């Protein structure tokens, strides 16, 4: 349901991608990725953009844009297991664990023990995954594997859309200068830690330096 509603915003993503990502040509890459659902850097370059030479300036430009989109979390690595629902994954894991315990119909006690074990494993896995994502966000600054699949990060674009609405609201209710300051604060917060519910403290000096 959420993804269906998100699709209504694809035009906004494409229209604003160049500005939000800060790269001319980002909008076309986002358009192609949304059209395909997911893609690899290699497929994007060779089949979608028809770039044959890795030594060409166009190839270097696309690689730079792609790397920037990864760095700023506008696109994210995708594994085919990600398409499975949490319920399906849990059911498959439960069946695997039960197969280790018995070859016959499991008892209620065995099922309960397996579920308890899996619940503990999920907590550990989520903590490890969160740490891994933080590490990747810092170190993964280029498409190291050309065959790695990537998808557009809807959440990131939705945050930018929300920020734009805040900027517009403040600009209308107060004035354009206030709207600009709101935009700067939100942009700085978004670049540093977009997943926070509230923005971090930002000094007036930093805001002034960021005013164009």
pLDDT tens-digit readout, 156-187: 999 899 889 999 999 999 999 999 988 888 88
Question: What CA–CA distance (Å, rounded) separates 18 from 25?
Answer: 6
- Cβ–Cβ under 8 Å, residues 184 and 207: yes
- Cβ–Cβ under 8 Å, residues 64 and 23: yes
Determine the pLDDT at residue 200: 63
Query: Which helix (H) or strand (E) is 150 found in, with range?
Result: strand 149-152
- Cβ–Cβ under 8 Å, residues 164 and 19: no
Determine the pLDDT at residue 157: 93
Among residues 182, 187, 154, the alpha carbon closest in space to that of 20 is found at 187
Determine the pLDDT at residue 66: 94
Contacts 24+ apart (CB under 8 A), 117-125: 118/90, 118/93, 118/94, 121/93
Determine the pLDDT at residue 25: 93
- pLDDT value at 1 more than 90: no
Mean pLDDT of 183-200: 67
- pLDDT value at 32 more than 60: yes
Highest mean pLDDT among 3-7, 40-44, 137-141, 193-197: 40-44
CA dihedral 190, 195, 199, 203 (to 10 degrees): -50
Question: What CA–CA distance (Å, rounded) separates 211 from 189?
Answer: 15
- pLDDT value at 8 more than 50: yes
Determine the pLDDT at residue 101: 74
pLDDT digits (tens, 9 = 90+) for 41-94: 999 999 999 988 888 899 999 999 999 999 889 999 987 665 555 666 677 777
Determine the pLDDT at residue 137: 43
Question: What CA–CA distance (Å, rounded) separates 16 from 135?
Answer: 28
- pLDDT value at 199 more than 60: no
Which pTM does this prediction carry? 0.64
| Helices 10-21 + 57-71 axis angle, to 10 | 100
Top pLDDT among 35 and 111 is at 35
- pLDDT value at 143 more than 60: no
Radius of gyration of the chain from its Cα atoms, rounded to whole angstroms: 22
Determine the pLDDT at residue 115: 80
């Amino acid at each position: 349901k959420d993804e269906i509603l998100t699709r209504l915003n694809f035009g906004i993503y494409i229209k604003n991608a160049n500005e939000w990502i800060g790269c001319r040509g980002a909008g076309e890459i986002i358009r192609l990725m949304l059209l395909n659902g997911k893609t690899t850097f290699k497929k994007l370059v060779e089949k979608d953009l028809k770039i044959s030479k890795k030594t060409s300036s166009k190839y270097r430009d696309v690689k730079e844009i792609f790397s920037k989109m990864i760095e700023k979390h506008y696109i994210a690595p995708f594994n085919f297991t990600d398409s499975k629902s949490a319920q399906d994954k849990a059911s498959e894991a439960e069946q695997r664990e039960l197969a280790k315990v018995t070859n016959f119909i499991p008892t209620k006690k065995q099922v309960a023990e397996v579920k308890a074990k899996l619940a503990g494993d999920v907590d550990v896995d989520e903590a490890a995954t969160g740490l891994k994502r933080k590490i990747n966000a810092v170190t993964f600054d280029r498409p190291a594997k050309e065959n790695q699949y990537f998808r557009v990060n809807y959440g990131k674009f939705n945050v930018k859309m929300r920020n734009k609405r805040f900027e517009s609201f403040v600009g209308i209710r107060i004035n354009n200068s206030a709207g600009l300051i709101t935009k700067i604060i939100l942009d700085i917060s978004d670049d540093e830690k977009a997943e926070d519910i509230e923005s971090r403290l930002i000094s007036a000096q930093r805001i002034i330096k960021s005013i164009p």
